[in-house]
Structure 1
Amino acid sequence: MFRYPLLLLLAILLLATLPARARDGQPCRLSGRVTDARTGEAVCGAAIVVGESRLWAISDHEGRYLIPGIADRQIELHVTCLGYVACTVPLSLGDGENTLDLTLREANLSIDEVVVTAQTRTETSGSSQVIDRRTIEHAQLININEIGSLLPGGKTAGDQNLTSGSSRIALHAGGGSEMGNASFGTAVELDGMRIGNNASTAETAGTDLRHIGVSNIESVEVITGIPSVEYGDLSNGIVKIRTRRGKTPFLVEMTVEPRTRQMALSKGFLLGRDGSERTGILNVNIERARSVSNLASPHTAYDRNNLNLTYSNTFRDRRDRPLRLTASVAGNLGGYNSEADPDEFKESYTRTRDYAVRGNVQLEWLLDKPWISNLYVQATASYSDKLTETNENRNSASTQPYIHTTEAGYHIAEQYDDNPAADIILSPTGYWYTLSRTDSKPLAYSFKVRVDWNRRVGEAVSRLLLGSEVTGSGNLGRGLYYTDMRYAPTWREYRYDRLPFMHNAALFVEEQLTLPVKQRSLLRLSAGLRADATLIRSSEYGTVASLSPRLNAKYVLWENRRSLVSDLAVRIGWGKSVKQPSFQTLYPAPSYSDRLAFAPGTTADGTTFYAYYTQPTTPARNPDLKWQYTVQQEAGIEATLGGTRLAVTLFRNRTVNPYMSRTIYTPFTYKLTTQADLEAGCTIPSADRIYTIDRETGVVTVLDRTGVQAPQTIGYRERNTFVAQTQYTNGSPVERWGVDFTADFAQINPLRTRIRLDGNYYRYKGLNLTEVASTLSSSASMADGSPYKYIGYYAGAAAVSNGSLEKQVNLNMTVITHIPRIRMIFSVRLETTLYDYGRNLSQYGDGSPRGYLLDSSSDYFGASVPLNDRGRYVAVYPEYYTTWEAPDERIPFAEKFAWARDNDPALYQELAKLVVKSNTSYYFDSERISASFAVNFNLTKEIGRFASITFYARNFLHNMGRVRSSQTGLESSLFGSSRIPQFYYGLSLRLKL
């Protein structure tokens, strides 16, 4: 989309380093007073920000504010305060002192300008949507993971049940089967503190945000475009959550849904005063939410118990330079708890803690120096306790081997009572419960320093941003363990708290230029560069460096023109962002190959004394692993056409080096003593036998318990097989592109009604060509009974498909009626999926086919032609294969397989086992799902100034129609389908006391 983005970026950064030229006057000052429109009283704690300059002020207890060092003369003031309507004031300034008094209106439904939809941020150069508190309340969100339903083309989840932890935020992404780790690359920040999932050893996915209470959220900004270089460790956009800060009355919120209950209490306390000084504001929020998975069995539930404390204060020195201090601490005590159905084993359950504590300190100082305008410092720390406890019922009529050894060699099973520390213990017989615990304790910290320098460069207004950030993450958990080793199945300890922490240091610089072009026209340029160095001590990775250049440009052609098109602006953006790996990617668990070496017959009491050969392998860490990154490009247009506000964004995201796992196979040999060997070489009666095995040689010796016969050595046979290790590597690039749009039509005044259209077109293509190895299961064998000895190497996956192509068109229409006189607003939202296309792919990067079309499912040979809705079975071969005897010799599979068919039937039969086939004849046919829709209803009514009530119903027409698949020709019901929300409803009551 842009041929020379780096050159343009460097040019802008070079311009930023030039000294300021002749100025049109020195920086000026702006002061004034903020008051309540209804009472005339001073408004304390209002934030006044000058455009995107980061020049700011906070009104004091008398409502007064002062902003020094303003370089521009044509500005926009953004004024926000908790409980009041945010406003933007365009202003022309003169040299020296300027005065402007501001009046804020209380945020309620009696005013005309009430918004209950996500709004495009027009003052920024990149694509960004803002969802305010009123919108969150009207949508009645309980799970912040559902914020994506408010974005263009978003779909509503009918059931916000917190017992399901599978919902993650993923911007500009489709279903969960997509490659590229979209949710993992979507960053989430809470008051500037990253809520990440890097320290997870169990997944490479986005953060589960169920533990974050929604009642304390003031606004959410979703940046789907190219973010500032200030934000790192992401590859798919960022969600910025801002909690309440400021003076408020007591706020009580109660929400009831069929399977969820929520209650919250909030208050912003203005602390004591001493003369003209105040000691700050303390915001307190307490929330409890509980969801059950099934009304018929309310024991299985997720609980959220939040406490949030935020202290804020603004100090001023003798020169009236404000220093803003914000300190917060928040925590959650909750989690998931399942209790079995009364008809099942009553002691079976799964309990998962979801405990979290977060601390955050921010300092922002408006210094107003010639060489620095603003200083920002932030320090954060977060700690989670995610202990999962599982109690499972197990049973067995005979003893089973539980292998616990971590040492190489041969080991024989022993009774737990005889040797509790045995390498292999024998399980009990009958019925019992096994209690396991998985202890994960992620810990993360960050420290950020940022400075801003605002100045004029000729006619241009410049804002230079410089900063540094240090972050770290680790896991203090114990991992999986068992409290009673008598019942511990095959398992080895793998402690998370012994894994090295991952540290990252970053430097970033960004220049923002605002250039007046002509009257009512201006050009905004933003270019930045971020340098990261990720340090992982005591590991193969060492230090990994990366650069992230980013560029945004916006040309405002005109604003507030008296014409059909009153506002018009175009924008483009390009950028690279890097995502650090998760601990699952960095530290795969050690592998152990356990092969049965000896299994004598079962004794009269049901005991079998198994022996195994164990071959441990060190973690298959990949020193060549590269950090995943995404190259984003976007272009957009914003316009006001006849009172209708339009915003259209075209985006293209290419994710490079996505994290993926593969298996490495290493040949090894062990000795196997069979029952036939035992009977042929042992004359000791079975009741008197004592079995031993040499740990080094694997030779089995039988002792006579009575001492009558001498020890007898048993014969064996050698077995050749493989050790399997999991290693994380980088997959092939993944591409997503599409169009987002919104159209907010002018209000129909007689009906007090607005109509909003929003939607998107989304296209995803993922094609994995990374080489992966695969063989048959460890129990598979050759025709002669020996272990299977061939390894196949496939392009992308040992499957018929190595990727997919998906397309979707979504269109939503929202009709919003607002009646200020009775303080009521209600909306009806029609959500539709007009086009839903999907297709499995099996091809190489140049589009040539990877598989062969078969005439029948029993064939192995066919035509290598492109797959174009032929309705045929498909076979996929490995690119080549290796043998146990020669693991480094690559044998082209297709050529050898064809030769073996005519010349070596035995080899042909063995190689055929490596061929993978589609299980249906239509697997690679295109699938188009017919259109579907759902209608949602929301109503909010204020009762005076002190109470409000919200009711919503998802899919309230209870659409249970049918959709048709072009691939199979079959129809399926929408009932219970994920394509539309199920019928669901809720009621919320809010009180101001």
Structure 2
Amino acid sequence: MKKILSSCKAIFLMGGLFMCCYGGSVNAQNNGFSIQGVVTDSIDGNPVEMAMVIIDGLDIWAVSDDQGRFSFENVPEGNYTFLFRLLGYKDKTVRQTLRSNIDGWREKLQPVSLALEQVTVTATQGKLGSSSKIQTTAIEHIQPKSLTDIFQLLPGQITENPTLASPGQVKMREISDNPNSALGTLVMVDGAPMSNDANMQTVNTSRSGNLSTAANTVGRGVDLREISADNIEEVEVIRGIPSSEYGNLTSGVVLVKTKMGAQPWRVKANIDPNTKIASLSKGFRLPNRTGTLNISTDYAQAYNDTRYKYRGYKRLTGTAIYSNTFMENTKPLDLNFRLSYFQTVDENKTDAQLNKLEAIRSSNKGIRGGISGKWMLRKSWITNLEYSLSGDYSWAENYVKQEQSLTTGVVPYPTSYVDGVFEENYLPGVYYSEYTTDGKPYNFFAKIKGSLNRQFGNTVNSLVGGFDMAVNGNNGEGLQYDLSTPPMSTLESSIRP
């Protein structure tokens, strides 16, 4: 029987007008001032291309060209914080007072290295007290096996042994492993939300999903094992209820930013008695300033107990991210295209303790794609336009054939689909049950957000508006089995719809 679950959500949000006061005065100017500068490498002095320069508060930004040059026009007088950032370099914050045109500004960026004199290996506090950011150096220092391990850098988190053998769940402001905490936490990768709402890979939808022979997260949050930790640039965690633009959540949001841009070849291996992980990544700078292409792949194998190989987990992932900035000298348009693939590679589960006629197979594979970016228009009615379009589709199938032994006496098995009194047969004392759970979940997400920044007197005011839409569904066949040999017949709740 085909099962389809779908939902559609549309939200229009309009942020209230709020005041952003700077440490110094901001005076109204008709045209403002211009800024001309160059970004260079602190070691060899070479120009740094495609570095992003952001003026905090004004929400305007620029990207350096092949000579490392960047420029701003019509910037009001005042004291500002400039943020310089690029993959492979340490983020740099500079305070600058703007009273006249600036020409010949030179800024040096320091390459990221664990050999730096000081490396922060804990989460840094964000502007809001409930926000924490974890940077690349801290992530590489702890050598995480999954995104779950990165959360242990957050304040108040309980240290646990890292593992990939069991599903990884978000635990935020919680001591116990409560499924509701993970279910209410939104996980976004490069602006695209990951959803588990359409997951129906379980024998009994009235239970939590733990009763399946394959570990799953039905009725819970996203399985974080699907996100490779070796290609993460930054993780921001917002505890509690954040801005309304994030929408569908109750416990907080996790914002994952993967590595984009050019970087050297990187080979990494992580081996211990129960886990083996190998990854390969490289960022290419395409010719004729046509952008960058960052590719990565990784393989992971994990067992909670090496004596029970059929309970293990094997995963293969691959990601390709194209990024480019157009019209960088006028109205820069940032474009990022992401395509990823994931699958489990341990479909046949074998174990010496299984009976001769018993069999277990489990497979899960899928693709994700998305386009996101930001366009700095600087019009009288809009400053920036942000957009995001993403979708994913996966194929999941669990097959189980196992021996069932009745220990509760005589058990009838009803086959009627209407109410009434009928004669029915009884299950044998020992029989083989065979069932398949087929799922084809899909998710689609679209979002557009505009911001307007205007100064009045000594303050800069921001107005934010946007629209998003989410669609979740499942085109799989669901649970399929012979009514005369049902699986797990001794459950207190029925497995039938």
In the superposition, the TM-score normalised over structure 2's length comes to 0.84
Q: 1:451 to 1:176 in 2, by over 3 A?
A: same
Per-residue deviation, 1:96: 4.8
- AA aligned to 1:374 is N
Kept in 2, the 8 Å contact 1:391–1:433? The answer is yes
| Cα separation, partners in 2 of 1:590 and 1:45, compared to 1, 3 Å | farther
How do 1:646-661 and structure 2 match up within 5 A? none
Query: Helix, strand or coil: the match of 1:135?
Result: helix
2:136 partner amino acid: R
Tell me: CA distance 1:489–1:228, structure 2 relative to 1, closer, same or farther (3 Å): closer
Secondary structure, in 3 states, of the residue corresponding to 2:137? helix
Instruction: Check if 1:468 corresponds to 2:467.
Output: yes
Which structure ranks higher in relative contact order (CA pairs < 8 Å, sequence separation ≥ 6)? Answer: 2
> Aligned-pair distance for 1:431?
5.5
Contact 1:301 1:337 (8 Å CA) reproduced? no
Report if the CA contact (8 A) 2:364-2:394 is conserved.
yes
1:384 alignment partner in structure 2: 394
1:72 CA drift (Å): 5.8
2:329 matches 1:324: no
The 5 Å alignment of 1:741-760 reads none
Q: What residue is the counterpart of 1:956 in the other structure?
A: none
Q: Which residue of 2 aligns with 1:944?
A: none
1:364 corresponds to which residue? 374
1:954 corresponds to which residue? none
Is 1:232 the equivalent of 2:243? Answer: no
Aligned pairs, number: 459
Q: Distance in 2 between matches of 1:490 and 1:304?
A: 28
On the 8 A contact 2:148/2:169 being kept in 1, the answer is yes
Structure 2 SS opposite 1:101: strand
Partner of residue 31, structure 1: 36
> Superposed, which structure 2 residues align to 1:813-824 within 5 Å?
none
**1:315 aligned onto 2:326:** yes
* Cα 1:14/1:453, change in 2 over 3 Å: closer
Q: Check whether the contact 1:326–1:363 (CA below 8 A) recurs between aligned residues.
A: yes
CA deviation digits over 1:338-390, x for unaligned, max 9? 84642442554544333232111013111122222111111111223332222
- Does the aligned pair in 1 maintain the 2:15–2:464 contact within 8 Å? no
CA-based RMSD of the aligned residues comes to 3.1
1:74 to 65, 79, 82: 79
Rounded Cα–Cα distance in structure 1 between residues aligned with 2:185 and 2:316: 25
Structure 1 counterpart of 2:17: 13
- For 1:120, the aligned partner's letter is Q
Separation of aligned partners in 2, 1:344 and 1:104: 59
Tell me the secondary structure at the aligned position of residue 40 of structure 1.
coil
Q: Helix, strand or coil: the match of 2:282?
A: strand
Q: Matches of 2:19 and 2:41 in 1, distance apart?
A: 43
SS of the residue corresponding to residue 100 of structure 1 reads strand
Distance across 2 between alignment mates of 1:280 and 1:11: 34
Consecutive unaligned residues of structure 1, counting only runs of 5 or more, are: 1-9, 414-424, 492-588, 593-618, 620-993
Q: 1:310: Cα distance to partner?
A: 0.4
In the alignment, the residues of structure 2 paired with residue 225 and residue 27 of structure 1 have an alpha-carbon distance, to the nearest angstrom, of 39
- The alpha-carbon deviation at position 264 of structure 1 amounts to 0.5
How many Å separate the matches in 2 of 1:473 and 1:255?
35
- The 8 Å contact of residues 119 and 138 in structure 2, kept in 1 or not, is answered as no
Q: 8 Å contact 1:24–1:458 — kept in the other structure?
A: no
Q: What residue is the counterpart of 2:8 in the other structure?
A: none
Q: CA deviation at 1:480?
A: 0.8
CA offset digits 1:828-879 (Å, max 9, x no partner): xxxxxxxxxxxxxxxxxxxxxxxxxxxxxxxxxxxxxxxxxxxxxxxxxxxx
Answer yes or no: is the 8 Å Cα contact 1:163–1:336 preserved in 2: no
Is the 2:121–2:153 Cα contact (8 Å) retained in structure 1? no
**Superposed displacement of residue 151, structure 1:** 0.8
Q: CA separation in 2, counterparts of 1:12 and 1:177?
A: 34
Matches within 5 A, 1:172-571: 172-176=173-177, 181-201=180-200, 202=205, 203-224=218-239, 226-273=241-288, 278-316=289-327, 320-334=330-344, 339=349, 341-395=351-405, 401-413=412-424, 427=427, 432-482=431-481, 487-488=485-486
Distance 1:29 1:368 in 2: 15
Name the CA shift for 1:296/1:30 in 2 (closer, same or farther; >3 Å). Answer: same
Letter in 2 for 1:224: R
Residue of 160, 170, 174 corresponding to 1:157 = 160
| Matched letter for residue 376 of structure 2 | L
**Code of the aligned partner of 1:13:** L
CA gap of 1:43–1:439, structure 2 versus 1, over 3 A, is same
Q: Which amino acid aligns with 2:87?
A: L
Alpha-carbon distance, 1:40 to partner? 1.7
What does 1:686-701 correspond to in 2, within 5 Å? none
Q: Is the 8 A contact 1:48 1:77 kept in 2?
A: yes
Match of 1:650 in 2: none
Q: 1:196 and 1:342 mapped to 2: Cα distance? A: 36
Deviation of residue 297 (structure 1)?
Answer: 3.6
Offset, 1:67: 3.4
TM-score, normalised relative to structure 1: 0.43
Contact kept, 8 Å, 1:268 with 1:284, in 2: the verdict is yes
Kindly indicate whether the alpha-carbon contact (under 8 Å) linking 1:292 and 1:298 is maintained by their aligned counterparts in 2: yes
- 2:369, 2:42 → 1: CA distance? 36
Structure 2, unaligned runs of 5 or more: 1-13, 21-25, 206-217
Distance 2:98 2:81 in 1: 10
Task: Give the match for residue 11 of structure 2.
Answer: none
Cα separation, 1, equivalents of 2:313 and 2:116: 38
Matching of residues 898-917 of structure 1 within 5 Å: none
Q: Give yes or no for contact 2:359–2:402 (8 Å, CA) kept in 1.
A: yes
Q: Which residue of 2 aligns with 1:856?
A: none
1:109 match: 114
1:54 equivalent in alignment to 2:59 = yes
Counterpart contact for 1:46–1:79, Cα < 8 Å: yes
Distance 1:362 1:27, change over 3 A: farther
Contact 2:17 2:461 in 1 (8 A): no
Residue-by-residue CA offset, 1:373-419 (whole Å, 9 max, x unaligned): 11111111122333222221125799964333322334334xxxxxx
Letter paired with 1:355: K
Which entry has the higher C-alpha Rg, 1 or 2?
A: 1
What is the CA–CA distance in structure 1 between the aligned matches of 2:250 and 2:413, rounded to whole Å? 43
**41, 44, 48: which one pairs with 2:46?**
41
Indicate the residue corresponding to 2:215 in structure 1: none
| Structure 1 pair 320–239 and aligned structure 2 pair: CA distance change class (3 A) | same
Instruction: Give the deviation of 1:59 after TM superposition.
Output: 2.1
SS in 1 for 2:225: coil
CA contact (8 A) 2:27 2:77 kept: no
User: Given the alignment, which residue of 117, 141, 154 partners 2:144?
Assistant: 141
Partner of 1:864: none
Determine the structure 2 residue equivalent to 1:84. Answer: 89
Rounded to whole Å, the distance in 2 between the matches of 1:301 and 1:322 is: 47
Q: Retained in 2: the 8 A contact 1:126–1:225?
A: no
CA contact (8 A) 2:413 2:483 kept: no
Secondary structure in 2 matching 1:402: coil
Aligned pairs for 1:817-896 within 5 A: none
The AA in structure 2 aligned to 1:162 is: L
Identity, % of aligned pairs? 30
Question: d(CA) in 1 for partners of 2:477 and 2:270?
Answer: 38
Given that 2:449 and 2:465 are in contact with CA atoms closer than 8 Å, whether structure 1 keeps it comes out as yes
Counterpart code for 1:441: K
Amino acid at match of 1:171: M
Q: Structure 2: which amino acid aligns with 1:279?
A: T
